């Protein structure tokens, strides 16, 4: 079984709020094209990131255990990157970025996720994303 590994690339205090920006990197044994489908479509995101994901107009609606968050795509580069801007709650106007980079050492690519967290929830949110990405990695195991 392929175990999720991450490395903290940096933690940067975000001056406009009480949230800290953080970045995690995960090896994924797949192609950038296949991974891009999993990070950029409602069907793909529903398999690992949220309980369900819908699109209403130009807004993605993410649902987790009875809660709902809305986001708009602010950057989209096919097979390379997608960035969502959260529209609600304390994450309003913060960007969740999922970037794909070729990984010449491992057989596959790296998924680099940059998000924001309240400092008191930072460790929990890192573990949560790591758990979610573990589900994603299992989709690509053979």
Q: What is the CATH number of the domain that holds 104?
A: 3.30.530.20
93 belongs to a structural domain: yes
Residue-wise pLDDT tens for the chain (142 aa)? 333 333 333 333 333 468 899 999 999 999 999 999 999 999 999 999 999 999 999 899 999 998 999 999 999 999 999 999 999 876 787 999 999 999 777 678 999 999 999 999 999 999 999 999 999 999 998 5
Q: How many domains does the chain have?
A: 1
1 belongs to a structural domain: no
* Contact by Cβ (8 Å): 97, 85: no
135 belongs to a structural domain: yes
Q: Which residues form the domain of 110?
A: 7-139
Output the pTM of the full model: 0.83
- What strand order describes the sheet that includes 108-117? 7-13, 20-28, 108-117, 95-103, 81-86, 67-77, 59-64, 52-56
2 belongs to a structural domain: no
CA-based end-to-end distance of the chain = 10
Find tokens 């010449």 and name the residue. Answer: 104
How far apart CA 135 and CA 61 sit, in angstroms, is 20
Q: So what's the pLDDT on residue 1?
A: 32
Q: So what's the pLDDT on residue 13?
A: 35
């Amino acid at each position: 079984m392929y175990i999720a590994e991450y490395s903290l690339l940096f933690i940067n205090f975000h001056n406009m709020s009480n949230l800290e920006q953080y970045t995690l990197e995960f090896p994924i044994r797949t192609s950038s094209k296949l991974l891009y489908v999993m990070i950029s479509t409602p069907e793909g995101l529903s398999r690992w990131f949220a309980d369900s994901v819908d699109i209403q107009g130009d807004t993605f609606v993410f649902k987790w255990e009875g809660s709902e968050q809305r986001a708009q795509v602010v950057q989209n580069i096919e097979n390379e990157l997608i960035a969502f801007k959260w529209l609600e709650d304390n994450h309003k106007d913060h960007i969740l970025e999922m970037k794909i980079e070729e990984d010449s050492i491992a057989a596959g690519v790296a998924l680099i996720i940059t998000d924001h967290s309240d400092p008191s929830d930072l460790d929990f949110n890192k573990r949560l994303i790591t758990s979610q990405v573990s589900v994603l990695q299992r989709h690509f195991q053979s």
